[in-house]
């Protein structure tokens, strides 16, 4: 491969693609390297929720206690495969330290600002593509089986309202008025009005196909194996199809990012958080809204004429093995909230899995490294990669071009755990 681009992006998930979009929109030439097909890892069959409401990071007070309780249940939505692994133990230590009120107060406004800015940027993609990816702005309805859970989450809703979110706590008749298309069994719900949903596979395809081919070269089935450096700069990456030189490099390899950073002597604390989804197309009742079934931690998203059920956070390393038991657990949880949805018999052979790139504090890694001057991190978006992708792409473009970034970068520094 020849013709050096200004920027080499490693990883063609939603983050790498959005970075390519904003860089090329500024006239920067890009080579994007993807070891599979673009979007084919974590970015195409996830729940497709665009959630400015999700300002509470994964690392939050009470999560450790809840996680330990869940770990005792074989069908729980959270699981850590027991193993002696230094990187996992170090990550868990940093995660437990981040589960504090102080850290949450620090992270919430950061996520709030980024998520809102990102949500607004989806409109540009939607208008330009005649909404080819089904962006639908009807909000997100969190459903609670128990009064206790509803009360506890109402406090989170108040915190979200304090940060400018539009939030409504709803009881039975109000729930039915908002979503008349399906019978619900719940103590109540919280409607996050400004959330949205989309078809993530179609979004990835839209961004991919609309990239300016004169400026962006996409190399699929091209795996990056290593780096060539001169002093504290990368000069080229070594790939399965030869060497590719560039001036700037973007690390957007999702859950695999630490494997690559290690080759540069950089430790990036990250764990792969495995999740599953199943898409079902023959349901009789068709909800209009996307939901999160709160206690079960299951997302239900209308995608075209189908419904996608997604959930589980499993820390079991960089493996994409599908556990039928956990997929079944996601489907079995549904009728408790929607008694008329018979998901028991849904076809689990079509189950999908994705590895979320999870940082210990729930904030992504976006920014430069001091030791490798021309490398920019764009990874670690955990459960928010779709929601944050447009804004991350814009930020990467600003960082690469040495422009003033749209937000303060220090909370997102990839070196904040050193
Ligand atoms: C069940 C589930 C539901 C989810 N629901 C939502 C949701 O509703 N809303 C939301 O905002 N987020 C959601 N997410 C999270 C979201 O899917 C991720 O945060 C996002 O897809 C991460 O994107 P990425 O580009 O960082 O990583 P990826 O999509 O994993 O892309 C990284 C790419 O890098 C490539 N790569 C890795 N190593 C190399 C190498 N050496 N050389 C070349 N290429 C390489 C990989 O093949 C991969 O394609 C969900 C995730 C899961 C699992």
Pairing of strands 140-144, 188-192: antiparallel
Task: Judge contact between 287 and 136, C-beta under 8 A.
Answer: no
Query: From the CA of 18, how far away is ligand 1's center (Å)?
Result: 12
Residues 23 and 27: their CA atoms lie apart, in Å, by 7
Residues 261 and 418: their CA atoms lie apart, in Å, by 14
Ranking 157-161, 234-238, 282-286, 295-299 by mean pLDDT, the lowest is 282-286
For residue 356, pLDDT over 70 is answered with yes
What is the predicted pLDDT for the residue at 199?
98
Residues 395 and 250: their CA atoms lie apart, in Å, by 12
Mean pLDDT, range 64-88, rounded to an integer: 80
What is the predicted pLDDT for the residue at 6?
96
Q: Mutation test of ligand 1: which of 203, 256, 289, 351 has the most ligand atoms closer than 8 Å to its C-beta?
A: 256
What is the predicted pLDDT for the residue at 74?
64
Residue nearest to atom 16 of ligand 1 (CA): 385
CATH topology for 56-99+136-194+270-358 is D-Amino Acid Oxidase; Chain A, domain 2 (3.30.9)
Chain mean pLDDT for the chain: 93
Of residues 409 and 344, more confidence is placed in 409
Ranking 32-41, 238-247, 266-275, 278-287 by mean pLDDT, the lowest is 278-287
CA nearest 50: which of 18, 73, 23? Answer: 18
CA nearest 250: which of 40, 12, 42? Answer: 12
Instruction: Give the number of other CB atoms < 10 A from CB of residue 164.
Output: 11
What is the predicted pLDDT for the residue at 56?
86
What is the predicted pLDDT for the residue at 159?
83
CA nearest 393: which of 4, 43, 35? Answer: 43
What is the predicted pLDDT for the residue at 348?
65
Alpha-carbon distance values, 374 to 153, 210, 231, 251, 395 (Å):
43, 27, 11, 11, 15
Query: From the CA of 13, how far away is ligand 1's center (Å)?
Result: 5
> What is the band of 217 on the pLDDT scale with cuts at 50, 70, 90?
very high
What is the predicted pLDDT for the residue at 37?
98
> What is the band of 3 on the pLDDT scale with cuts at 50, 70, 90?
low
Query: From the CA of 183, how far away is ligand 1's center (Å)?
Result: 33
Alpha-carbon distance values, 336 to 227, 339, 349 (Å):
51, 6, 23
Query: From the CA of 252, how far away is ligand 1's center (Å)?
Result: 9
% of the chain with per-residue pLDDT over 70: 98
Domain ranges of the chain: 56-99+136-194+270-358
Model confidence over 26-74: pLDDT tens digits?
999 999 999 999 999 999 999 999 999 999 888 888 887 777 777 766 6
Residues 74 and 175: their CA atoms lie apart, in Å, by 32
What is the predicted pLDDT for the residue at 63?
80
Ranking 96-110, 132-146, 216-230 by mean pLDDT, the lowest is 96-110
* Residues 6+ away with beta carbon under 8 Å from 187: 144, 145, 146, 147, 149, 150
Of residues 283 and 363, more confidence is placed in 363
What is the predicted pLDDT for the residue at 18?
98
For residue 347, pLDDT over 80 is answered with no
What is the predicted pLDDT for the residue at 82?
80
Model confidence over 112-129: pLDDT tens digits?
999 999 999 999 999 999
For residue 1, pLDDT over 70 is answered with no
> What is the band of 349 on the pLDDT scale with cuts at 50, 70, 90?
low
Q: Mutation test of ligand 1: which of 196, 385, 390 has the most ligand atoms closer than 8 Å to its C-beta?
A: 385
Alpha-carbon distance values, 16 to 20, 188, 211, 231, 352 (Å):
6, 39, 12, 26, 21
Residue 347, token pair as written in the block: 């076809």
Q: Give residue ranges with CB within 6 A of ligand 1.
A: 10-16, 33-36, 40-43, 46-49, 223-224, 252-256, 260, 275-277, 299, 310, 354, 356-357, 379, 381-387
Pairing of strands 140-144, 291-293: parallel
Model confidence over 153-201: pLDDT tens digits?
888 888 889 888 899 999 888 999 999 999 999 999 999 999 999 999 9
Residue nearest to atom 21 of ligand 1 (CA): 43
Task: Judge contact between 250 and 260, C-beta under 8 A.
Answer: no
> What is the band of 343 on the pLDDT scale with cuts at 50, 70, 90?
confident
Model confidence over 367-387: pLDDT tens digits?
999 999 999 999 999 999 999
């Amino acid at each position: 491969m020849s013709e050096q681009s200004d920027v080499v992006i490693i990883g063609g998930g939603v983050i790498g693609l959005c970075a390519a979009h904003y860089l090329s929109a500024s006239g920067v030439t890009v080579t994007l390297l993807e070891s599979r097909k673009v979007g084919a890892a974590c970015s195409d069959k996830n729940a497709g929720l665009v959630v400015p409401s999700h300002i509470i990071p994964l690392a939050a007070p009470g999560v450790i206690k809840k996680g330990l309780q869940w770990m005792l249940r074989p069908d729980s939505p959270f699981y850590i495969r027991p193993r002696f692994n230094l990187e996992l133990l170090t990550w868990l230590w940093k995660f437990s330290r981040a589960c504090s009120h102080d850290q949450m107060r620090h992270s919430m406004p950061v996520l709030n600002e980024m998520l809102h800015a990102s949500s607004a940027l989806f409109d540009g993609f939607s208008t330009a593509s005649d909404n080819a990816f089904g962006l639908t702005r009807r909000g997100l309805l969190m459903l609670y089986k128990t009064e206790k859970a509803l009360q506890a989450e109402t406090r989170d809703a108040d915190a979200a309202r304090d940060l400018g979110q539009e939030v409504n706590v709803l009881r039975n008749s109000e729930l039915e008025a908002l979503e008349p298309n399906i019978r619900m069994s719940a103590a109540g719900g919280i409607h996050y009005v400004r959330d949205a949903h989309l078809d993530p596979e179609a979004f990835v395809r839209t961004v991919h196909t609309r990239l300016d081919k004169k400026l962006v070269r996409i190399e699929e089935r091209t795996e990056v194996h290593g780096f060539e450096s001169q002093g504290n700069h990368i000069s080229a990456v070594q790939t399965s199809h030869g060497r590719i030189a560039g001036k700037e490099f973007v690390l957007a390899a999702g859950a695999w990012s630490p494997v690559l950073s290690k080759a540069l002597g950089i430790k990036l604390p990250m764990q792969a958080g495995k999740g599953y989804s199943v898409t079902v197309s023959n349901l009789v009742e068709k909800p209009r809204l996307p939901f999160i079934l709160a206690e079960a931690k299951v997302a239900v998203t209308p995608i075209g004429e189908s419904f996608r059920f997604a959930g589980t956070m499993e820390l079991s390393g960089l493996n994409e093995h599908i556990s039928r038991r956990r997929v079944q657990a996601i489907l079995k949880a549904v009728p408790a909230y929607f008694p008329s949805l018979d998901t028991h018999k849904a076809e689990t052979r079509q189950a999908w899995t994705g590895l979320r790139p999870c940082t210990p504090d729930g904030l992504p890694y976006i920014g430069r490294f001091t030791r490798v001057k021309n490398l920019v991190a764009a990874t670690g978006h955990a459960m928010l990669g779709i929601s944050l992708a447009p804004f991350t792409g814009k930020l990467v473009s600003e960082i690469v071009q040495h422009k003033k970034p749209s937000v303060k970068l220090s909370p997102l520094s990839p070196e904040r755990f050193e």
